[in-house]
Chain A
Amino acid sequence: MSGLLDVMEANRPQLVRYLRAQGMGEDAEDILQDLRLKLLDAAPGPVGNPLGYLYRALTNMVIDKRRADIQRRKRDEQWADNADLASDVTSAPGQERQLDSERTLGRVEEALGGLTPRARDILLRHRVDGQTQRAIAADLGISQSTVESDLRGAYVLLHDLRKRLDEE
């Protein structure tokens, strides 16, 4: 894995700049350090596009960090809201999560009705199966830009759904 670490060091200013552009500010260096530790822990494996790989890993970490921050805020808010309520019965966190996900499943199913069957197929192939856009285009016999276009629409649709679900 020294190859990836070397690439990271050689491109450090660029990667820090990217993280700052993603709004990470002071945390940029820490995030790079986190990635460094993860890479040290990983078994060596050939990577076709090392710099691209690093960017994608960092992007992922940015998104994960954002989710963690949002969840923490939500939990803090909930705690504040419930602080006055005395309750004998508390449902287990696991149960709440399960019920919520069943309801969400129905809503997602419903929202995806707004996509063409092809767009729905492309979305699931990409997000669930992890197929690349190129592979999907080849499978379905369409151009890659058609795949990209369908995916764009799907992402916007999912975002709208997320906003609606959050408001409830």
Chain B
Amino acid sequence: MTKRAEHLLDEAAVWLVRTGDPSFDDWDDFTCWLEVDPAHAEAYQSLAESAASLDPALAQLDRDPVEANAPTVRRTRPWALAASVAAFAALGITVLPELRGTTYETRPGEMRTITLAAGDTLVLNGGTRITVRNLPGRRVALDRGQMLLRLDGDNRPVTVLSGDLRLVDVGTVFEVARDEKTTRVTVAEGAVMVDPKSARLRLDAGQRLDARDGDALLRAVPAPTEGVGSWTDGQLTYVAEPIERVAADLVRSTGVDFSVDPAMRRLPFSGTLSVAAVRRDPVSLGPLLGATVKRSDKQWVIGKG
């Protein structure tokens, strides 16, 4: 590389670092620098693009070299997250709103599609609340609910946070649901890296993970790919799933407030339900589940058949 080209890259690096900070305010100066020569914009963007293209790999690196090659898929505390939160608290700095990102929330029964950059989409089911951040890294925090992600591998990776679970992926189709303190991740296409910093469980297409906040072990089980995201088409498909899960999904998708009699909760259900049909007539759900559905106050109770 020529001396001039090297020098230009160094200058571009100065600007890349500075513009990467949310408090940066010298956009006019930066514009002037860009206007000096088209090669300046080229250098800046090239540097930014190189870093962005390597983000997926960076996300998978061991954070603590001592922990490398651990034989079991055992998790440690997500130290980085804990450290940054503690730092903000100690200095009395209010987290900048920009860092918190944009919050999207759907009511039960509502569905919403959000487009991230160039071909990446999130479909939110009802009763879902997420926060999306685009800078410096793309991050979606799932507070509760269910979403389907379709990500193009050519774009920057997306990190999904659910409780203390961290999922990183590039170019996949997968679904994440969070209720209370459990997360369920199912991959339809591609692969998702779970907990890239510690457990590093890789979930491939046709696999599913159920994890509770604070779980020490993560284990993947096989799962049919056809079911992934079927709720976006108004269909809910189950193979021997407990009724309490079916009910939670129905609440999200129909907006109808179902509750389940304790005696019924763990009973398995297999079959496909139509969201529209159940919404129209909640009582019709009963025979399908081998139960009875009765109205009680504002709720529809699923009880013994």
The interface of chain A, by Cβ under 8 A from chain B, is 14, 17-18, 21-23, 38, 41-43, 45-49, 51-53, 55-57, 59-68, 70-71, 93-94, 97-98, 101, 104-105, 108-109, 112, 123-135, 138-139, 148, 151-153, 155-156, 158-159, 161-163
Contact = CB atoms under 8 A, between A and B. Distances in A.
Given A21-B41, A55-B27, A49 B56 contact: no
B83 interface: yes
In order of increasing CB-CB distance, the 8 nearest A-B pairs are: A162-B50, A21-B34, A159-B50, A108-B57, A152-B13, A64-B117, A46-B97, A23-B41
Contacts of B16: 152, 155
Interface of B: 9-10, 13-14, 16-25, 27-28, 30-31, 34-35, 38, 41-42, 44-61, 63, 80-81, 83-84, 87-88, 90-91, 93, 96-105, 114-115, 117-118, 133-137, 139, 153-156, 159, 170-171, 189-191, 196, 205
Contacts, number: 205
A97 B205 CA distance: 14
A130 B118 contact: no
B97 A48 contact: yes
Consensus secondary structure, chain B interface: helix
A52 B31 contact: no
Contact of B91 (A57, A127, A138, A148): A138
B170 A60 contact: no
A71 to B, nearest CB: 5
Given A105-B60, A130-B139, A155-B47, A47 B97 contact: yes
Contacts of A151: 17, 20
Contacts of B23: 49, 52, 132, 134
A77 B201 CA distance: 36
Nearest to A70: B49
Contact of A22 (B28, B45, B54): B45
Contacts of B196: 128
A60 B22 CA distance: 13
A38 B113 CA distance: 12
A42 B154 CA distance: 24
A32 B101 CA distance: 20
Contacts of A51: 27
B34 A68 contact: no
A45 B61 contact: no
A134 to B, nearest CB: 7
Contacts of A101: 56-57, 170
A159 B8 CA distance: 13
A17 B31 CA distance: 8
A108 B139 contact: no
Contacts of A71: 154
A165 B54 CA distance: 11
A23 B51 contact: no
B45 A135 contact: no
Most buried by B among A51, A112, A125, A155: A155
Nearest to A149: B17
Contact of A21 (B35, B48, B90, B189): B35
Contacts of B105: 43
23 contacts: A18-B30, A21-B34, A21-B35, A22-B34, A22-B44, A43-B102, A43-B103, A47-B98, A48-B96, A49-B96, A55-B27, A57-B135, A60-B135, A63-B48, A64-B118, A65-B118, A104-B54, A105-B60, A132-B21, A132-B99, A133-B20, A148-B17, A162-B49
